[in-house]
Amino acid sequence: MSAPAPHFTIGESARRIAAMMLRYWYLLRSSWPRLLDLVYWPTVQMVTWGFLQYYITTNAGFFARAGGTFIGAVLLWDILFRGQLGFSVSFLEEMWSRNLGNLMMSPLRPFEFITALMVMSVVRLSIGAVPVTFLAIAFFGFNLYGLGFALVAFFFNLMLTSWAIGIFVSGLILRNGMGAETLAWSIMFLLMPLACVYYPVSTLPVWLQSVAWLLPPTYVFEGMRALLIDKAFRPDLMLHALALNAVLFAGGVFGFLALLQSARRQGSLIQTGE
Amino acid sequence: MAPSPTVAVERLVKIYKSVRAVDDISFTLAPGSITGLLGGNGAGKTTTIATLMGLVMPTSGRVSVLGAEMPKQRYRVLHRMNFESPYVEVPMRLTVRQNLTVFGMLYGVDDLHGRITRLGNDLDLTALLDRQTGKLSAGQKTRVALAKALINSPDVLLLDEPTASLDPDTADWVRGHLERYCHERAATVLLASHNMAEVERLCGRIIFMKRGRIEDDDTPAKLLARYGRDTLEQVFLDVARGTGEAREAAQ
């Protein structure tokens, strides 16, 4: 019996991606705690940091000029953190429901799976973050959308970073089982001090600054401060971030595929528990 | 000229670290045949099935399904295969219809709505289609898993304990459905089961595995005759306990 022709067209591929998105949409719809979880923590974060900023601006001249940097940092950090979490949680749903074997033995290709997870991370992020941005306007008069094109550049770069890390962490979970789940929840916090979310890079010791500049989000948060404090958009920072993100994203995908291959060798895909 | 086998396994070896889960096995499955894969726990049945699906990469040897080398060319044929296994579950939070819709889309099923309706009728799931899968009884979940396995009308069906958790009446009814499906579709089935009556009824051939190796491979009637036993369960025990060879020699 000869090998049949390859079964791949763009339309078929799009249908499989749509199938996965539909699966996650059904899942979100079926559980109000899941939806609540998307919204409540960003809201708590924004309100807490917003009041802190309000207090500081009324007591310090510099911060009076730097209006919005804290809330802006909180909202952008949330894009980074929630983007990665949105990706990883959708992936974890397959582990929790012991459905990964069904997917891996279906015609779904790894890049289709990854694409569906990326789109769902944007959907999940939108559900959680969009209402919070409106609350920021209502509570503190901070309009994230007022950043205009810069916001698009910030958002795109942060999402690329979050996907790259989400993809790599998913590969680790695929290969090592649920023992690696903690990474999905905590890996972004490893980046937080070095990405200089709430303070300029110059705050770090000189030797650590060069490490910080290896991380794409560092450029985004520096760019945000430049915009809010100096009223200057820095395209050079965004291009640097984009170049680093391209490397990071390629590394994430390569790592995922290598770990998937290793999981096939080790038989980890049959037993997707701890 | 005999038709090319649907499945061809040649000197398959799978080693996990120091454990030889599958140890140099070879067999072929003819188109339209139903073959039982029997063996105790840890015999290598699940690894063999997972290798056929491309989920596990062989350490050495060759696996070909519908003419495609597995796992390298798996995407050429995965849409013509399906499986049911206790190692995976159909997502519990989705309704039966939602699950079948998602899997139907993944497998590129045409007229999906019609296919789900037919499966609902065939597997007595119509009344359950809009219920959450996780809230069904164990037997109903098994039927849903079978519906998922049949959603794409596969040419190759790999079943691991397909009637576990079913009451005798429903299990018998499911076996009847599988028999009809295989007859009408001329599907090739590899069935791992511990239910010897099921294997005897459905399978025209039985492969016995033990410690990763094939211990015996023949039709049920010939196996019964060779081991001098009345039931397959007795043959299974002979093979599992290693008394088969002595008995066979005595015969």
ipTM: 0.88
- Residue A182's domain comprises 10-266
- Residue B57's domain comprises 7-218
Predicted structure pTM score: 0.87
B37 pLDDT tier (thresholds 50, 70, 90): very high
> In the Cβ-directed half-sphere of B222, how many Cα atoms lie within 13 Å?
9
> Is position B192 within any domain?
yes
Domain count, chain B: 1
**Is there a contact between A1 and B102 if contact means CB atoms under 8 Å apart?**
no
> Is position B227 within any domain?
no
> In the Cβ-directed half-sphere of B46, how many Cα atoms lie within 13 Å?
16
Minimal C-alpha gap between A164 and chain B (Å): 25
**Is there a contact between B55 and A266 if contact means CB atoms under 8 Å apart?**
no
* Residue with the larger pLDDT of the pair B80 and A178: B80
Give dist(CA A267, CA B55) in Å, integer. Answer: 8
Residue B246 has pLDDT above 60, yes or no: no
Residue A228 has pLDDT above 90, yes or no: no
**Is there a contact between A101 and B88 if contact means CB atoms under 8 Å apart?**
yes
Interface of A with B in 19-48 (CB under 8 A): 19-20, 22-23, 26-27, 30-31
Q: Is the minimum CB–CB distance between A105 and chain B shorter than 8 Å?
A: yes
Domain count, chain A: 1
> Is position B241 within any domain?
no
B50, B89, B98 member nearest A26 (Cβ)? B98
> Is position B169 within any domain?
yes
Residue B10 has pLDDT above 80, yes or no: yes
Helix, strand, coil tally for chain A in percent (to 5): 80, 0, 20
**Is there a contact between A23 and B50 if contact means CB atoms under 8 Å apart?**
no
Residue B222 has pLDDT above 50, yes or no: yes
Calculate the average pLDDT of chain B. Answer: 89
Scanning every residue of chain B, which has its alpha carbon at the shortest distance from the alpha carbon of A97?
Answer: B91
> Is position A274 within any domain?
no
**pLDDT for the residue numbered B174:** 82
Which is nearest to B90 in space by CA: B33, B147, B29?
B147
Calculate what percentage of chain B has a pLDDT beyond 90. 55
Q: Which residues of B touch A31 (CB under 8 A)?
A: 93
A12, A30, A98 member nearest B88 (Cβ)? A98
Scanning every residue of chain A, which has its alpha carbon at the shortest distance from the alpha carbon of B46?
Answer: A270
A39 pLDDT tier (thresholds 50, 70, 90): confident
Calculate the average pLDDT of chain A. Answer: 86
At B216, is the secondary structure helix, strand, or coil? strand
Residue A41 has pLDDT above 60, yes or no: yes
Peptide bond into A193 cis (omega under 30): no
Q: A10, A99, A111, A262: which to substitute to probe chain B, counting the most B Cβ within 10 Å?
A: A99
CATH of the domain at B78: 3.40.50.300
Residue B250 has pLDDT above 50, yes or no: no
> Is position A1 within any domain?
no
H or E element in which residue B192 lies: strand B188-192
Give dist(CA B32, CA B233) in Å, integer. Answer: 25
**Is there a contact between B46 and A270 if contact means CB atoms under 8 Å apart?**
yes
Which is nearest to B157 in space by CA: B62, B29, B57, B39?
B29
> Is position B98 within any domain?
yes
- The string of pLDDT tens digits covering residues B54-89 is 889 999 999 999 999 988 899 999 999 999 987 888
> Is position B92 within any domain?
yes
Instruction: Summarize the confidence of residues A151-167 as an average pLDDT.
Output: 95
Q: B29, B93, B129: which to substitute to probe chain A, counting the most A Cβ within 10 Å?
A: B93
- The string of pLDDT tens digits covering residues A195-207 is 999 889 998 899 9
- The string of pLDDT tens digits covering residues A74-111 is 888 989 999 999 999 999 999 999 899 899 999 999 99
Q: Is the minimum CB–CB distance between A240 and chain B shorter than 8 Å?
A: no
B247 pLDDT tier (thresholds 50, 70, 90): low
Q: Which residues of A touch B31 (CB under 8 A)?
A: 1
> Is position B185 within any domain?
yes
The 10 Å Cβ neighbour count of residue A214 is 11
Instruction: Summarize the confidence of residues B111-140 as an average pLDDT.
Output: 93
